[in-house]
Structure 1
Amino acid sequence: MEESDQGTQRPDSIPEVGEDAVTTVEQPVSSTALTEEEQEELRNELAKVEEEIQTLSQVLASKEKQVAEIKRKLGITPLNELRQNLSKSWQEVTTSPAYRRTSETLSQAGQKATAAFSSVGSAISRKLEDVRLQSFSNSFRSSPV
């Protein structure tokens, strides 16, 4: 790379997601930014942190296996866990203020609808009774004695 290009960063030198951090550090850096010793120190620190990350990943994998084994021994299946999660989620939903307000509103609407249907039903029943009485009365008058 030419000396005049060292101070500018091109868009193609931006690291991609998942790109190894070491390759990013090894990209040309402005000579005034870091000395050779600082760069070496940073590379060492980077290697150490990456090693710690790998160790932590291994520990996490081991703990996940341990959890799976304990759950297996306790008879906890994925289906049981799903049921528990759904039950817990449903309980959280039903205790939320929004759910309670909606439930109360729907309950009141249901009560009003029931009262309205009952009232309409009563009115229809009275009307039918009136029609029946009139029919009975008319049939009684028209029948010969």
Structure 2
Amino acid sequence: METRQQGLLDPEPVTEVDEEMVSDVDLNNTMTDEEREGILSELTKLEEEISTLRQVLASKEKHHSELKAKLGITPLSEFKQNFNKSWYDMQTSTAYKKTSETLSTAGQKTSAAFTTLGTAISRKFGDMRNSPSFKSFEEKVECTVSNIKQTKVGSQGGGGSFEEVLSSAAHASAQETPSNNMPESSDHERTC
């Protein structure tokens, strides 16, 4: 017989199986009555052991709950304890610490930004108040209030109530024209 090295593509020779070997294999897998009885006996023992273990487990669980009741441990307290432990574990985790630090930094930056914004707004209002336009407006308002007070004092002999002064100011401003036709009655009115 010639020995030849086979490659990957070369077909492998088919070998014939001995007929005697095929007849030795029991395809029905039949067992004897003794083997069957042994297996049934083992199965029965396992079922009994499982039943016994379930009874023991039930007894242990009952004893466990009785001990907890004596200690005052309720399901709610267990839940709280588990929650607290989980919360502590989460707080000590690296991810939580990094997130907390990031949020803290963001909060500080936001606070600084609002402080800067508030300072800028205050500065702008201060600049606006010191502007010539605002000063002129402020002087006109002061003059109008002074004129109204003088008009009330001159016509009624008394100052009148605040509401009367306001209604008279509204009435007077409604009658005025933009050309500033105010009657000249005193030196103070002329300077306004």
Q: Same fold (TM over 0.5)?
A: yes
Alignment of 1:6-17 (within 5 A): none
Q: For 2:116 and 2:30, how far apart are their aligned partners in 1?
A: 86
1:77-112 Cα offsets, whole Å, 9 max, x none, are 111111111111111111111111111111111111
Alignment of 1:1-145 (within 5 A): 31-32=28-29, 34-134=31-131, 138-139=135-136, 144=191
Change (3 A) 1:39 1:135: farther
Alpha carbon RMSD of aligned pairs, Å?
2.5
**C-alpha displacement at 1:139, in angstroms?**
3.5
**C-alpha displacement at 1:130, in angstroms?**
0.9
Q: For 1:115 and 1:71, how far apart are their aligned partners in 2?
A: 53
* Identical aligned residues as a percent: 54
Q: Say which SS state the counterpart of residue 131 (structure 2) adopts.
A: helix
TM value normalised by structure 2? 0.53
Number of paired residues?
116
Question: Relative CO higher for 1 or 2, CA cutoff 8 Å, sep ≥ 6?
Answer: 1
Q: Say which SS state the counterpart of residue 54 (structure 2) adopts.
A: helix
Gaps of 5+ in 2: 1-26, 141-190
Q: Say which SS state the counterpart of residue 84 (structure 1) adopts.
A: helix
Larger radius of gyration between Structure 1 and Structure 2: 2
1:12-46 Cα offsets, whole Å, 9 max, x none, are xxxxxxxxxxxxxxxxxx63264433332222222
1:88-144 Cα offsets, whole Å, 9 max, x none, are 111111111111111111111111111111111111111111112226872499674
TM value normalised by structure 1? 0.69
User: Which letter maps to 2:67?
Assistant: I
Gaps of 5+ in 1: 1-29
Aligned to 2:3: none
Q: For 1:93 and 1:41, how far apart are their aligned partners in 2?
A: 55
